[in-house]
Each structure stands twice: as C-alpha cells, then as structure tokens.
Amino acid sequence: MSYKFNLRNYVCACLLITLAIVAVFSSYSISKFKKNHDTNVSTLMALNEENYLQHRLIMNATNSFFTASEGVQETEFRIFTQALLGEREAIFFTLTPKLTVAYISNAKVVEHLAELTVSIDKEGMLKGSLPHYQLIGFEIDEPDMPYLFYAIPMKSVLFSLDKFKGSCLKYSSTQLTEENKNCVLEPKNMFFDLFRHETELDISIPSYNFHYLLTIESQVSESRLMEYCFFVLSTLVACGLVSVLLYFRLMNKHFFNRIERENKFNVAMVSSINHEIRTPINALLGYSQMLRDMPKISDEHSVVIDKMLWSANLLYSVAENTLNYSKSATDGLMLNNAPINTLQYFNNIKDYYNKLSIPEGKTLGFHVSDTLPKTISVDSSKLFQVITNMINNALKYSTGQAVSCHVDLCSRRVFNDPTSANRELYLRVLIQDTGLGMSQSTKELLTDPFVFDPESQLKKVSGIGLGLYTCNQLLTQIGGKLRLHSVENEGTKIMLHFPLRCGEYVLSEPLSPRNYADKRILIVDDNSFNLEVCNAMLEDEQFNTVCADNSKDALMRFRDSDPDVVIVDYRLDEMNGIDLIGKMKSIQAETKTQYFILSANDKNEIVDNEHYPDVYFMQKPFNTAIFLSGLEQTG
C-alpha cells in the first residue's frame, strides 16, 4: 500500500467518524423518543374519544329522558340518573329559571354545590363553575327547571392523565385548568429541550357549547438522559482510544514502509556499487591471470602477480559479503537451485585455488567423499561463495599452516523447524585449520558483524567480520546451518550444512580440453576490460571466441557466426541482456544455442527471468569453473 501519511487528515477523519457515530446514535435516540411521544398522543386521543362518546351518550340520554317525560319528579330523576351513571362519580343537577338548584342526582353531594356559580352571558349561553368539577350545561324541555348541568369530577380526569408516565398532560377549559404530577419536569436548558415534544388537542362538543384543550408534553427522564450522555461519552472515549491505537499502527506501518524503502534503496545502491566494483575486480583478476600465464615470467614477478591475484580475490570476497549483508538485513536471499555435476564442480573449486596460488607457507587439502551422488541440484553460486569465503578466512587468519576441506552428504531434521520430524538432505562441508583458535569476541562475529576484537587488532586482523556473519545469515535464511568450534592452541572447525536436492538429472558428458575448440562462443559486453578478460580466459581453455561490445554488433555477429554458446552481460547500453537473448532466439529457428547471463545480481533479482528457464545466470566476476559447470548443465 503506497500512501503519504498526513496527521491533519488522520485527525479530521477520526473526528468525522466519531461525530458520525454520535450523530447517528443521537438521531436514533431522538427519533425513538419522538415515536414514543406520538404513541402517547395516539393513546390519549383514543382514550379521550372513548370518554367523549360516553359523556355524550349520557347527556343525550338524559336530555331524551326530559323530552319524553312530562312533569319529571325528583325521585324519578334520581333513579334514572343513578342508573345511567352507575359507579361514576359524576352528578346531574337542574336549575330553575332563577338559576337555583332544583333536582340533584345524588343527595350526598349537596354540600359540594355550595360554591356553585351560574350565569347567562350576553349571548344567552349558560355558564357555570364548580371547584374540582368540569360543568357542561344545556337547556332541557322542562319549564320549571329549564337548565341541566352535567358535572364531571376532575379527579377522574386526572386519574386517566396520570396513566401516561413520563409525560406532562394539561387539561384546560374556560372553567379551570388541571395538570398531572409529571408536569413538574420542565426543560432546564437547550440540551434538555432537544428531548422534549409538545402536542395540543382541541376537543369540543358543539351541541352542548363545550370545548377544552388537552396538552401533552413528553420529556426524557434524567436517568435516561444520563444513560444517553454516558453512551455518548463512552463512544467518544472508545473512538479516541481506537484512534490512538490506529494512529500508532499507521505510524508503525508508515515507519516500517519507510525503513523498507530505505533498505531496498540501500540494497539497490550497494548492488549498483557492487556492480561497478566487480568490473575492475574482474579486470584485475583476468589481467593478473594473463600475466601469470605468460612465458618467461621471473620468480620475483610471479610472487608479485600471485599477491595481486590473492588481493583481487579478497577484494571480490569483501564486495560479495557487503552485498549479501545488505540483502540478509531485508530477508532478500533466495536459492536458485540448478543441477550440477558434483565431482566436476568441486574439481573446479580445487583448480580455482591452484590457479590462485594460496599464501606462502600455507597448504590446502581438499577431499570430496565418494558417497556423493553424481549429480545434485544446488545453488552453485552461493555454495561457491560460502566455501571459498570460509577457506579464504582460514588461509588468511589462521596461524597454522594446514587448512583442510572435507565435503560429504548427510540427512537430518530440517533446521528451520526443530519440531518437524521431516528429514532433508544437506551438503556437509567441514573446514578445519590448526592455528591458535578464535577468541570469544571473534566467535560473536557469527551474530554481530561489528564486534570489536582487541586481540585481532593486536594481530592486525580486521574486526568487521562480514564474511563470517553473512555466511551464517545466508545459510540461516536458505534453511542451512553454520556451526563453529574453536579451541585455544588447537585450531578452528567450521561445519557448513547447505540444502540441496538429489535426483536423476540429465547432464551432458564432461567436456574435455580437446573438445573446447569445437565450441564457438559469442561474448557480448559493453565494457572493454570485461570483454578482453573474459575472451582471454576462454581462449586459455581453447574455446573459439567472437566478441561484440554492443547489441547491434552482437546481433550481426550472431547471424554470421551461428555460435554454440552466447555469454551476455545483463547491463548493456541499448538494452538488457534478457531482451537481447529474446531477439537472438527469434532469429534462430532451432533452439540449439546455450545462453549465459553475466550479472552482479542474483537470478531472482532480474526481471522476467522466469520466462527464460533455459538461460544460465552467472554472477560477476566471470569464473571459468562456474561457467564450465553451467556449460555441462545446459549442454
């Protein structure tokens, strides 16, 4: 994932997400509260409608009673109204033309009428009021008492209103105003007002000139409001903690990506420097070998040339170790296994040291076990690097004279997974010297390449230790193992376990020197030093060589010479070696040419290498022994 980390954008995003969560929850809470309020309003309307119908039926029945009867007696009035009202606490009473009380439905409430006030307004409408009662007055067909009042006790009204918990209900008419006990809940501030709803219902009975107003106010309780505030606060805290954790995670990922980019840049830079260094190293090794092979070289000059060869070899080892150290830091080491002729491969390593001329006074014994299979599949470049690195260290640093190398095959449990019962094959290499042995601080170079070794300083030996460290890291990452055992005054033993594969691999027969002249080789390199050195080294092996220093010339010489082998440098000015090989293959109808890529990079670092399985990849500098092994493999 590629992104540019911006703290301001991150804070804004977290704030917006948090506000969105709070807004959604608040909207849901307010909507739910409004829904509950609407439910209460609907219930109140239904209840009021029921009461309205009951009271209207009662008043209509009483009015019809007077209309249908002549000279209604008080006893008849009481019997009828009590039967009509049943258990209700409402009362009926009639008034004379002088507005005095005549008949009363219940004699027990006579004292309640002491505070009754009755009047007729300018429009001739009957008005009346009685504390704790709602009066509805209307005219009846009875000359001696033309007015009838229906008195509804307010406590029955309030009882109905008190059923609505959490809601304030107000009853208002021209006579009185009443409210239930929940009306003490008043909004304390604007925040409380968010959770408050009010609805007014205007109820009227036109036929009896009566109307009243019902007001329902719903407000959330303080406990519910506290729960809401607690949830919002918890959400803010949770979002804050998640934001902080996410922030640190993003920061870690940002730093990790930056470190990874820097590591890749460092590896690329070291690889580029390594590539540039290999060119003069290759030239130094080649020209030194050419000088050494010249006739009439004096012994004195021969010693100087041997020192040049040895120094160039050590310089190459340092360059290779530096590159592998950078790759091991980013877990970039990979195996590129390919089948090799086992005996021929190790004979080539022995020839490598025979031509190199080991330091004066030192001897190298090289023994290969007869139990090794004829062919094995292994990363020959990395195996060559590890073995020669350890032998070079022994020849350079050991105070003894004899250095020995023993190679055989072993089967054991895999190193990277100690719990696994699976067994794998390993190439086991034992390198031993008879010197004074290693100090404890020198042994620590296996895990720390920058340990300061005062004893090594006294002996004028480098204390960086990249060779030992990188070989250990290389073997660890590819599934192998390096073990070190050193005893004072007895010497040092280094055991290498290198992973390999065994099988029936088809290889060409080993090429003999008399057959090399039949092989036409086209060498393509835009560096004149590399071209000259590689040409001289192959001519020394009796190969028939053709050289080209650019891709255009290479294609022309490829058509003319029809070579058996093509060696191409990966980095050319006009195109890379892979593209050049692709053009050569398109020219050649039948695939009979063997192709080699010479590069400072590993095979897995070369783009589109998987599309060319028949191309053999070699690392710089050009090594005749590795080339001959590859030639046998691809032949």
Q: Which residues of the chain have pLDDT under 50?
A: 1-3, 452, 456-465, 505-514
Cβ within 8 Å of residue 158, ≥6 positions away: 171, 178, 180
* 542-562 as b/e: b if 16+ CB within 10 A: ebbbbbbbbbeebbebbeebe
Cα–Cα dist 352/317, whole Å? 14
In 325-480, the DSSP E strands lie at 338-341, 363-368, 375-378, 402-413, 423-433
The predicted pLDDT at position 460 comes to 41
Q: Is the bond into 621 cis (omega within 30 degrees of 0)? A: yes
Q: Say which CATH architecture domain 333-499 belongs to.
A: 2-Layer Sandwich (3.30)
The predicted pLDDT at position 505 comes to 47
Of 588, 516, 526, nearest to 552 by C-alpha is 526
Distances from the Cα of 125 to the Cα of 4, 66, 122, 175, angstroms: 84, 20, 7, 14
Q: What is the H or E stretch that residue 95 is in?
A: strand 91-95
Cα–Cα dist 477/335, whole Å? 9
Q: What is the H or E stretch that residue 285 is in?
A: helix 222-293
Q: Say which CATH architecture domain 255-331 belongs to.
A: Orthogonal Bundle (1.10)
Distances from the Cα of 299 to the Cα of 4, 292, 302, 303, 304, angstroms: 65, 10, 5, 6, 9
The predicted pLDDT at position 428 comes to 92
Q: Say which CATH architecture domain 520-634 belongs to.
A: 3-Layer(aba) Sandwich (3.40)
Cα–Cα dist 302/211, whole Å? 130
Q: Which residue has the tokens 């014994």?
A: 365
Cβ within 8 Å of residue 447, ≥6 positions away: 469, 472
Cα–Cα dist 94/103, whole Å? 5
CATH 1.10.287.130 domain residues, the chain: 255-331
Question: Order of strands across the sheet with 615-619?
Answer: 544-548, 520-524, 565-569, 594-599, 615-619
Question: 167-172 and 210-219: which strand pairing?
Answer: antiparallel
CATH 3.30.565.10 domain residues, the chain: 333-499
Sequence letter at residue 595: Y
Q: What is the H or E stretch that residue 547 is in?
A: strand 544-548
Cβ within 8 Å of residue 366, ≥6 positions away: 346, 349, 350, 353, 404, 405
The predicted pLDDT at position 162 comes to 61
Distances from the Cα of 351 to the Cα of 106, 277, 345, 624, angstroms: 136, 25, 10, 10
CATH 3.40.50.2300 domain residues, the chain: 520-634
Question: 177-179 and 167-172: which strand pairing?
Answer: antiparallel
Six-digit token string for 364? 């190298």
Cα–Cα dist 13/10, whole Å? 5
What is the number of other CB atoms lying within 10 angstroms of the CB of residue 227? Answer: 13
544 φ, ψ (degrees, to nearest 5): -90, 110
Six-digit token string for 473? 């890291």
Task: List the Cα angle 176/180/184 in 5-degree steps.
Answer: 110
Cβ within 8 Å of residue 519, ≥6 positions away: 511, 543, 544, 564, 565
Query: Which residues share a beta bridge with 497?
Result: 428, 481
